[in-house]
Amino acid sequence: MSNKKHKVAIIGSGNIGTDLMIKILRHSDVLEMGMMVGIDPESDGLARASRMGVATTAEGIDGLIGSEIWPEIEFIFDATSAKAHVINNEKISQFPGKRVIDLTPAAIGPFMIPPVNFNELSDSANVNMVTCGGQATIPIVAAVSRVAKVYYGEIVASISSKSAGPGTRANIDEFTETTSHGIEKVGGAQRGKAIIVLNPAEPPLVMRDTVFTLSEMADKDAIRKSIQDMVIEVQKYVPGYRLHQEVQFEEITEPVFIEGVGHVTGLKTMVLLQVTGAGHYLPDYAGNLDIMTSAAKATAERMVQKWG
């Protein structure tokens, strides 16, 4: 593989876009910032990008497409909102060869969870990073699914209220719907459910995630090892991702009813996770934002490494 760096643009100059920009500038060997795109000329993100030597536009997607650097841009990260991404992607799709990595819950492209399904989606023109809760928890559901059939998967993502900006709050409904679908489509559960909690505690608490699965009966040691192996895979791009305590099991012998599945018995698995941010731009308690930007960056880098 050549030493050439591949130019990227980031749409959305808020916290997520700014953190992603700094990760690429400081920690990527294969990606290079081409432009930071916003809609508010006074935004801190655009000002910071300019100070760091990155070209900017406050004219949104039209400003990016109309810029001199547009022909050189290979990857576009969209860190705006679900509604804005629909418009942005429609315009970008008119230019063949551009890869879109969507950090909104729009879910136009297939769900991408790097350690689970990267290989099957590596040539997609648009991939969706699901949600912060999805990036943290769907790998765990998938880890159980590769050992035993999962009837039901439920996740509860608890994040600091301070780490939930206007975009996150505006997308709460999309968060639950998109994450639930991801638990099913990528995690492999027959039925999925997602809940998000905005914790107002002071000082702010780091991201905590709880994953419950109800599966057919299976070897507990095999499930435990599969989960531990998956945690190691996620840690390759999110070092602050870890098990908060040992995996817990409970045998369910009385049938329980799951909508869309029916009455089942089996093995309940509970996994408690903690995600501490890397602190590149955002505070370390904002692990929910850090895991999104880290997963998006890892996806683009792996695409480059696979396809050049």
C-beta atoms surrounding 3 within 10 Å: 6
Helix axis angle, 132-145 to 287-307, nearest 10°: 70
- Bridge-based pairing of strands 75-78 and 6-11 is parallel
- d(CA 73, CA 77) in angstroms, rounded, equals 11
Residues with a catalytic annotation lie at 132
Residue pair 22/280 in contact (Cβ under 8 Å)? The answer is: yes
- Bridge-based pairing of strands 191-199 and 207-215 is unpaired
Residue pair 77/17 in contact (Cβ under 8 Å)? The answer is: yes
Instruction: Read off the tokens for 199.
Output: 């914790």
Rg (CA), the chain: 19
Residue pair 241/234 in contact (Cβ under 8 Å)? The answer is: yes
Contact partners, residue 225, CB within 8 Å, separation at least 6: none
